[in-house]
Amino acid sequence: MAQQESLSKAMADLAEERVKKLIKEKLDAGISANDILKECQAGMTEIGNLYESGKYFVSELMYAGEIMKDVMKDLGPMLRDEAKPETSRGKVVLGTVKGDIHDLGKDVVALMLRGAGFEVIDLGVDVPPSKFVEAIKESGATIVGMSVFLTMAYESATATVNAIKEAGLRNKVSIMIGGGPVTNLVQEKTGCDFYGKDAVAGMNYAISVSKD
């Protein structure tokens, strides 16, 4: 019966001990770390669906992210040995804009993105436009996420988009913005491509543009 149990379902159920047990069984059976990671990522996608349907809340998203952190600790060395490019969906530069020090929303987005297979360059809080630009150049990231909680920091978001334009990088990145007071209108005014009403929306947008 254990062989038939789904790892993605155990992940979606937030059954940490079952996840660990199933991963060990699959590794012992010779299944690649990359294939195991894909099953875990499918579970993270289902967690996103459960959040959107109102069955899960932010606390569940954060717990799921912590489980995925432990999974990556175990699988990380094996993934490097397998050296398959598909183990990463791509790179995302993430930060709370200049003048704003709120990080809870940003941290949840980072957890969800990492759980979905992205490499996240988390710049922290109070991040000036130049630091976003520098991180994009250094990492080659194709997705940028800006967190804004204070309305007074909207100008910083606009300044960041303008700095990315001035650096000649605007057509190379998809920019998403989110945070408590952010709306579709704010997204349009600041020049971003997408407004994420929550961490799951941000994760789904990143997945969609990484397939392009």
pLDDT digits (tens, 9 = 90+) for 12-26: 999 999 999 999 999
Pairwise CA distance, residues 44 & 10, whole Å: 10
Q: What is the pLDDT of residue 55?
A: 95
Give the model's confidence band at 37: pLDDT under 50 very low, under 70 low, under 90 confident, else very high: confident
Query: pLDDT, tens digit, for every residue of 127-156?
Result: 999 999 999 999 999 999 999 999 999 999
Examine the pLDDT at 2 and tell me if it is beyond 60: no
Helix (H, G, I), strand (E, B) or coil at 168: coil
- Identify the helix (H) or strand (E) that includes residue 174: strand 174-178
Strand order in the sheet with 90-96: 118-122, 90-96, 143-147, 174-178, 194-196
> What is the pTM for the complete model shown?
0.76
Of the options 3.40.50.280, 3.40.50.720, 1.20.120.1630, 3.40.50.150, the CATH number for the domain spanning 88-210: 3.40.50.280
**Whose CA is closest to 22, among 11, 12, 7, 35?**
7
Residue with the bigger pLDDT between 76 and 37: it is 37
Give the model's confidence band at 3: pLDDT under 50 very low, under 70 low, under 90 confident, else very high: very low
Domain covering 2-86: architecture: Orthogonal Bundle (1.10)
Pairwise CA distance, residues 97 & 127, whole Å: 5
Parse the chain into domains and list their residue ranges: 2-86, 88-210
